[in-house]
Amino acid sequence: MRLLIVEDEKRLAVSLAKGLRAEGFAVDVVHDGLEGLHLAGEGTYDLIVLDIMLPGMNGYRVCAGLRAAGNDVPILMLTAKDGEYDEAEGLDTGADDYLTKPFSYVVLVARVKALLRRRGSAGASPVLRIGTLTVDTATRRVHRADTEVALTAKEFAVLEQLAVRAGQIVGKPEILEHVWDFAYDGDPNIIEVYISALRRKLGATTIQTVRGAGYRLVAV
Ligand code: CA
């Protein structure tokens, strides 16, 4: 799951990003409305956290711009406490939910997950079944037959990318893009560390290596 935060209060943006990454999301951050509209328009995000008062272009206009372009990515708007946010206007421009500052981090995460869940249930089922493996993308729990398998947030995120395309080859760049951030400039082979951990926990034959191409999750 990949999120975009558009927020010009840099300290807030950085701490939100840090917290959401700890939950296993890949997070990109921009501080300007126009840049936010541009990045969001590229369409690779699962959810956007959007401040209202922004340099470049305000959040209402960013939101309206995305909707006018047919982009239905879930949008959670952030607003200051002084009634800056006009709920009618916000929902009118197509925001899915809003949160008043200052908010607790726990509440933000709950709202983000609720929006992603809502999206999940409107589209494909959030529970993926691959052979005896069950991956619940809403609760982020994994079972092998009836036994729960404990995964770290990043392990889950890597598995999720493979599970949504079970049986197909998923390349390292695609996994990196969805699980790490665009700012990640380390070694793409970091993925191998997570693949090894997943094989250890899920069974060695679960994830095949397709030399030079990527990985494939198979039913066992
Ligand atoms: Ca602001």
Read off the pLDDT of residues 29-54 as tens digits, 9 standing for 90 and up: 999 999 999 999 987 899 999 999 89
Which pLDDT score, from 0 to 100, does residue 87 have?
A: 59
How confident is the model at residue 82, as a pLDDT? 58
Output the pLDDT for position 124. Answer: 52
Ligand 1 centre to CA of 177 (Å) is: 27
Tokens found for residue 136: 């619940």
Please report the pLDDT score of residue 86 as a whole number: 62
Q: Which of 75, 97, 121 is the last residue of a domain?
A: 121
| 50 & 128 share domain | no
Q: How many Å lie between the centroid of ligand 1 and the Cα of residue 80?
A: 8
Do 94 and 198 lie in one domain? The reply is no
Compute the residue count for the chain: 220
> Which run of H or E residues covers position 217?
strand 214-217
Asked if residue 108 and residue 194 are part of one domain, the reply reads no
Residues 117, 48, single domain; the answer is yes
Q: Return the structure tokens found at 104.
A: 């607790």
More confident position, 94 or 2? 2
Structural domain that includes position 58: 2-121
| Residue after which a domain boundary falls, among 121, 154, 187 | 121
Q: Give the alpha-carbon dihedral of 37, 126, 21, 156, to 10 degrees.
A: -140
For residue 187, the domain's CATH number is: 1.10.10.10
What is the pTM assigned to this prediction? 0.61
Peptide bond into 74 cis (omega under 30): no
* Number of domains present in the structure of the chain: 2
- Residue 161 CA, ligand 1 centroid: distance in Å: 33
pLDDT of 128? 86
Q: Considering the chain, what is the average pLDDT of its residues?
A: 86
pLDDT in tens, 87-126: 556 666 788 888 888 788 888 888 898 898 877 654 455 7
Instruction: Say which residue the tokens 């990043």 belong to.
Output: 154
C-alpha to C-alpha distance for 93 and 139, rounded to whole angstroms: 30
- In the reported structure, the alpha carbon of residue 8 is separated from the centroid of ligand 1 by a whole-number distance in angstroms of 5
Same domain, 98 and 145: no
Q: Quick: pLDDT tens for 54-97.
A: 999 999 999 999 999 988 899 999 987 555 556 556 666 788 88
Final residue before a domain boundary, out of 99, 121, 143 = 121
130, 215, 205, 128: which is closest to 173 by C-alpha? 215
112 and 148 part of one domain: no
Note whether 207 and 215 are within 8 A (CB). Answer: yes
Are 17 and 35 part of one and the same domain?
A: yes
Q: Measure 9 CA to ligand 1 centroid, in angstroms.
A: 6
- Residue 103: its pLDDT value, please? 81
Give the per-residue pLDDT at 139: 80
Residues 144 and 191 in one domain: yes
